[in-house]
Amino acid sequence: VESRPVVWVSQPLIDAVIEPLRAQVDLVTTDEVTAWTPEQLAERLADVDGAIITLNERIGAAQVAGAGRLQAIANVGVGYNNLDVEALSAAGILASNTPDVLTETTADLGFALLMATARRITESERWLRDGQWGQWSFQTMLGADIHGSTLGILGMGRIGQGIARRGAHGFGMRVLYHNRSRLPAATESEVGASYVDFDALLAQSDHLVLVLPYTPDSHHIIDAAALAKMRPSATLVNIARGGIVDELALADALSSGGLAAAGLDVFEGEPRVRQELLALGNVVLTPHIGSASLATRKAMVQLAADNLLAALGVVGEASRMPS
Ligand code: DGY
């Protein structure tokens, strides 16, 4: 009798998607959100054939050194800087991620953060709840316009293109972008964006959204020198990975008038958020919720499960999410 593959699911995900997998594989699940240590990860991976994991789990050579049976890791997320892909392929382990299914939901959040930041939504609410609203005033919470302004996008993959479409077609913005490679002209005109170099993007954007992958090349690409090239009236939004921005330089720019405001969904040391950022009123902070709509999170888990079963050579209807 052939034994069934054993699959570890690192965090509570979506039961309606995960539970049906028991028809095909032996699942090891957890009921609690867990901060696995590097050693615990190595232990968990030691005797399984596959794993469904999240950005919390950092997996490299040390975690798979003793994982003799491990064939595949499915990352529930599009970003995969938590995986040392080179070490995994050297160990013969297939890694997968979940692109496409979260594009529009994450672009929505990018736009929500841009609007909340430019129009000082959360700052206004704190002020109101604090009982500071004495009388309607002409000068209260003056922010920056979104419609008709210049939107800059750094990183023009799927999510960047979704943000460009929203800005160009929904809000009449002039959209500029910078990316490692330029988009084909037909795509540029469909999404409504024009290519500029990095310095021009910094200098011309009223609102700059970061949507590029986190790699050694993009580490702190937004540093003090880059921030100094931005307009003092500009807003910065980061929905990619925290390490793209030098957070101390950003806090300095925000407190010294070098930059008007920032909207941050991601942080370098998350879930820890720097005191220097928490102390500022002109920052909107959200806990890495870019893809967090119920429908999208279901689709992400379904895609990760499908990726994993395919990599393990298990295919079947029973893995499909009930509609
Ligand atoms: C992603 O998909 O990369 C998000 O950050 C959540 O995992």
Distance CA 260, CA 143 (A): 9
Q: Which domain holds residue 177?
A: 103-285
* CA-closest residue to ligand 1 atom 1: 77
Does 1 map to a domain? no
Whether residue 82 sits in one domain with residue 206: no
Whether residue 72 sits in one domain with residue 30: yes
* CA-closest residue to ligand 1 atom 3: 79
Whether residue 281 sits in one domain with residue 234: yes
Burial of residue 316 (number of CB atoms within 10 Å: 0-12, 13-18, 19+)? exposed
Give the nearest ligand 1 atom to 266 CA. 5
Whether residue 77 sits in one domain with residue 15: yes
* Residues with catalytic roles: 241, 270, 288
Whether residue 160 sits in one domain with residue 266: yes
> Per-residue pLDDT tens for 255-295?
999 999 999 999 999 999 999 999 999 999 999 999 999 99
d(CA 129, ligand 1 centre) in Å: 32
* CA-closest residue to ligand 1 atom 2: 77
Q: How many domains does the chain have?
A: 2
Whether residue 128 sits in one domain with residue 165: yes
Whether residue 217 sits in one domain with residue 140: yes
d(CA 136, ligand 1 centre) in Å: 41
The ipTM (two decimal places) reads: 0.93
Q: Rounded to the nearest 5°, which phi and psi values hold at 94?
A: -85, 130
d(CA 302, ligand 1 centre) in Å: 15
Whether residue 154 sits in one domain with residue 245: yes
Taking CA atoms, 119 is separated from 57, 123, 146, 204, 261, in Å, by: 36, 9, 8, 19, 10
Whether residue 16 sits in one domain with residue 147: no
Whether residue 172 sits in one domain with residue 59: no
User: Exposure string (b/e) for 41-73, b if CB count within 10 Å is 16 or more?
Assistant: bbebbbebbbbbbbbbbebbeebbeebeebbbb
User: How many CB atoms lie under 10 A from the CB of residue 34?
Assistant: 14
Whether residue 88 sits in one domain with residue 173: no
Joined tokens for residue 317? 């209807």
DSSP secondary structure string for all residues of 4-69: PPEEEE-S---HHHHGGGGGTSEEE--SS-----HHHHHHHHHT-SEEEE-TT--B-HHHHTT-TT
* CA-closest residue to ligand 1 atom 6: 77
Does 258 map to a domain? yes
CB 307 within 8 A of CB 74: yes
Whether residue 232 sits in one domain with residue 185: yes
pTM: 0.94
Does 12 map to a domain? yes
> Per-residue pLDDT tens for 215-246?
999 999 999 999 999 999 999 999 999 999 99
Q: What do you get for the CA distance between the two ends of the chain, in Å? A: 33
d(CA 155, ligand 1 centre) in Å: 15
Tell me what pLDDT residue 1 has. 56
Domain harbouring 40, CATH code: 3.40.50.720
